[in-house]
Amino acid sequence: MLLAAASSGLAAGLDPLALIAAFGKAFNDTRYVTAIWLVLPVIGLLERHGLQERARALIAGMKGATLPRLLTGYLLLRQIISALGLTTIAGQAQTVRPLLAPMALAAADPRNEAEADRVKAMAAATDNVGLFFGEDIFIAIGSILLMKGFLEQQGIVLTPFELSVWAIPTAFAAFAIHALRLWRFGKVRR
């Protein structure tokens, strides 16, 4: 990508110093986009130095920590923070793989690799359900704005707030349905 941008700049007649200045300005103007590249190595270092083992040990040491309770609690947390517009605080790379999946495995104590894979998949699904149904409550999320635009094209004028209010019952229903799925998943395993 860098090579394509450099060749385009040179073909457009920019001298090398102006090209470097353009790269610097673009990086500075969009540095929030590149922040993830700083976070991922930190997560990798934490994982290398025992983050997953500490997460497992934390759950293993708790009496009454079951897989359905752990994942239902995470589902509630994920929906709440997503409803507040904080969709990137948790997620597959930053929370599920390094923390939630090891905690779920410790709570579930799987008997074989296939069962461990199902537990990890349920942890990932819990994150997806919490994010997907929680984020529509926040009025400034892309999906609400997309629905608003589509409905306006059809002659239906609604405010983003009116749309987000209707997302609340859906989020409650998604929570109840997925919590039931988690409870059944925990019962089947016993």
Q: Are 145 and 161 in contact (CB under 8 A)?
A: no
Query: Is 67 contained in some domain?
Result: yes
Query: Is 10 contained in some domain?
Result: no
Q: Is 91 left (phi over 0), alpha (psi -120 to 50) or beta?
A: left
Report the alpha-carbon distance of residue 145 to residue 8 in Å, rounded: 34
Query: Is 167 contained in some domain?
Result: yes
- Is the pTM above the cut of 0.75? no
- Which span out of 98-102, 143-147, 185-189 was modeled with the highest average pLDDT? 98-102
Query: Is 35 contained in some domain?
Result: no
**106-152 pLDDT, tens digit each:** 889 899 999 999 999 999 999 999 999 999 899 888 888 888 899 99
**6-24 pLDDT, tens digit each:** 788 788 888 888 878 877 7
Total domain count for the chain?
1
Q: Are 121 and 158 in contact (CB under 8 A)?
A: no
Query: Is 21 contained in some domain?
Result: no
The tokens of 23 are what? 């790269």
- Give the per-residue pLDDT at 130: 96
Domain ranges, residue 168 = 52-189
Query: Is 86 contained in some domain?
Result: yes
Query: Is 72 contained in some domain?
Result: yes
DSSP string across 101-167: HHHHHHHH--SSHHHHHHHHHHHHHHHHHHHHHHHTTSTTSHHHHHHHHHHHHTT----HHHHHHHH
Query: Is 69 contained in some domain?
Result: yes
